[in-house]
Amino acid sequence: MACVLGTAFPAVSEDNSSRSTISNATLLFGRSFRQERTFGANTYFEYTSRNESIGLRIVKYKSNDFARVYIKDRLTLFNSVFDVKRVDYPGQYSKAITCPDEFKPKFVESEFLGGYVAYYSGFANKNKTTGACAADLLGYKYSYGFVLCFNKGALYEFEHYSELNSEAFNQFRDDIVCD
């Protein structure tokens, strides 16, 4: 079922005392999402067009400080995939596995009116698996991160895929607002 968020789904709350509605996602991303699945308290949404694919999860949290720690922990875990790792059985030519700097994701964070955004942008392979570390493996531009809207009490976790020559992520990034 496709719809504009906020028109068909109930409000999501962090503790039932302050309400954070799903309709914030429409303002945040400027796109029509469809609900994909719900597991416990987590609701997942997806947007797909010819140029981009976005997965969105609304994360419940207790305070802005907790949300920032959560964001830091999740992004640190994501980035750890690109750390130099020893191989289990070192050989003559390989003692470690590494991703060249030009393929490692770049970290971006910034505060803006009413919110905070932090994400990594890099590459994914043709199967939409992050961590493509060689030119012949590149299939998509990939971004993974979070948007925290202070005044709405909303934390959004996103994954964004776009074609290698597309500017779709730049448009997506520019559409992020928390007013």
At 80, is the secondary structure helix, strand, or coil? Answer: helix
At 159, is the secondary structure helix, strand, or coil? Answer: strand
Higher pLDDT, 133 or 21: 133
pLDDT of 73-114, one tens digit each?
999 999 998 888 777 776 677 777 788 999 999 999 999 888
- Least confident piece of the model among 14-23, 35-44, 128-137, 144-153: 14-23
Q: Cβ(178)–Cβ(149) under 8 Å?
A: yes
Average pLDDT over the chain, rounded to whole? 80
pLDDT of 25-63, one tens digit each?
554 578 888 887 666 667 788 898 999 999 999 888 889
Torsion-angle region of residue 149: left (phi > 0), alpha (psi -120 to 50) or beta?
beta
Q: Strand ranges (DSSP E) for 81-153? A: 85-86, 96-97, 106-112, 115-124, 140-149
Give CA–CA dist 111/99, Å, rounded: 29
12-174: CATH topology = Protein Transport Mog1p; Chain A (3.40.1000)
